Amino acid sequence: MELHKKQIVMTPLLRKVFLFDAVGTGVFALVLIFFANFTGEITGITNTMMIRLIGIGSIIPASFSFWAASRIRLQKIFILLFAIVCTIWVIGSFILILLLPFPVMGVLSMVCVAICVGIVGGFLFYFYFRN
């Protein structure tokens, strides 16, 4: 396959999707890192170290999204992999909601984050299969 068929040109909408994800994930990561106690109270999670680790781990996809938004062309496989990661996040969120007893605010918070991640993932799947 030719090189240009394995790449996607970064359109303004795709760039905005990556920037939305980068900013949203970055803010989410910072909230988890610096406000772990408050986040724990809302979600009902008592282990604040785990909350901070999730925040630190969220810096990686935020950094990838900033990097991807700065590119002119992007390998299609990166878009597919990131869309799959978004899908795994959404599925994992709903599994946690079903299996663990979260307070109402915790469930609402997780659902809101899962919806945002799902929207980003949907756009990324669209761009992957459309191009």
Domain residues for the domain of 37 are: 10-130
Give CA separation, 40 vs 15, 25, 36, 129, in Å: 33, 18, 6, 38
Inside any domain, residue 15: yes
> What mean pLDDT is predicted for residues 19-40?
96
Inside any domain, residue 2: no
Question: Is the pTM here over 0.85, yes or no?
Answer: yes
**CA gap 116, 127 in Å, rounded:** 17
> Phi first, then psi: what are they for 102, rounded to 5°?
-90, 150
Inside any domain, residue 1: no
Q: Is beta strand 7-9 parallel, antiparallel or unpaired with respect to 73-75?
A: antiparallel
Inside any domain, residue 5: no
Number of domains in the chain: 1
Inside any domain, residue 44: yes
**CA gap 23, 16 in Å, rounded:** 10
**CA gap 74, 96 in Å, rounded:** 33
Please determine, for residue 14, whether its predicted confidence score (pLDDT) is greater than 90.
yes
For 55-69, write each residue's pLDDT tens digit: 999 999 999 999 999
Inside any domain, residue 111: yes
For 94-123, write each residue's pLDDT tens digit: 999 999 888 999 999 999 999 999 999 999
Percent of the chain with pLDDT over 90: 88
Inside any domain, residue 86: yes
Inside any domain, residue 76: yes
Please determine, for residue 3, whether its predicted confidence score (pLDDT) is greater than 70.
no
Which residue would you say has higher pLDDT here, 3 or 77? Answer: 77
Please determine, for residue 1, whether its predicted confidence score (pLDDT) is greater than 90.
no
